[in-house]
């Protein structure tokens, strides 16, 4: 589930919520001879406020595409659709449909770390890594896993 580590980090950082339980899947499409390769993964998350989230990742984009970093957040007030590679955010709410809104100024993760005020601190980074390891176990067993909040 290494494919999802940054999605786990981003989900908890962006929402301020904790992932409480997960159901994960991973697999290999197109490389049957590579028995240890996992080139796609997804994780259904139940959050601390009762909401849900889906984190997906894959290594199957053509080289011409590069990366595809997207976040969609839907709530009672509307929907935000962010394409971080393109630098766009579209907002749909009661007043508008698909209104383009500016992204905040980009921050360098390394620069903030060097200055002593990292965007994602060590505790949150370790939590995301542990959840990714637990998600791998869940993908193997096919079982829903409740996250132990003691870490």
**pLDDT tens digits, residue range 29-81?**
888 888 887 888 899 999 999 999 999 988 777 666 666 678 888 889 999 88
121: number of Cβ within 10 Å: 12
pTM of the model: 0.81
Domains and CATH numbers, the chain: 2-108+123-146 (3.30.360.10)
Is pLDDT above 90 for 108?
Answer: no
For the chain, helix (H) and strand (E) counts, in that order, are 3, 8
DSSP H or E segment with residue 114: helix 109-114
Pull the structure tokens for residue 83. Answer: 């394409």
* Distance separating alpha carbons of residues 147 and 130, to the nearest angstrom: 9
């Amino acid at each position: 589930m290494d494919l999802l580590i940054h999605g786990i980090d981003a989900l908890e950082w962006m929402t301020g919520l904790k992932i409480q339980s997960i159901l994960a899947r991973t697999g290999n499409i197109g490389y049957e001879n590579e028995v240890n390769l996992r080139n796609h993964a997804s994780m259904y998350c139940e959050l601390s406020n009762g909401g849900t989230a889906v984190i997906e990742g894959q290594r199957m984009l053509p080289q011409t595409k590069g990366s595809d970093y997207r976040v969609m957040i839907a709530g009672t007030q509307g929907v935000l659709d962010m394409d971080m590679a393109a630098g766009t955010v579209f907002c749909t709410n009661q007043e508008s449909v698909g209104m383009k809104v500016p992204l905040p100024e980009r921050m360098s993760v390394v620069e903030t770390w060097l200055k002593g005020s990292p965007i994602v601190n060590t505790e949150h980074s370790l939590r995301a890594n542990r959840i990714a390891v637990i998600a791998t176990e869940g993908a193997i067993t096919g079982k829903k896993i409740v996250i132990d909040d003691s870490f």
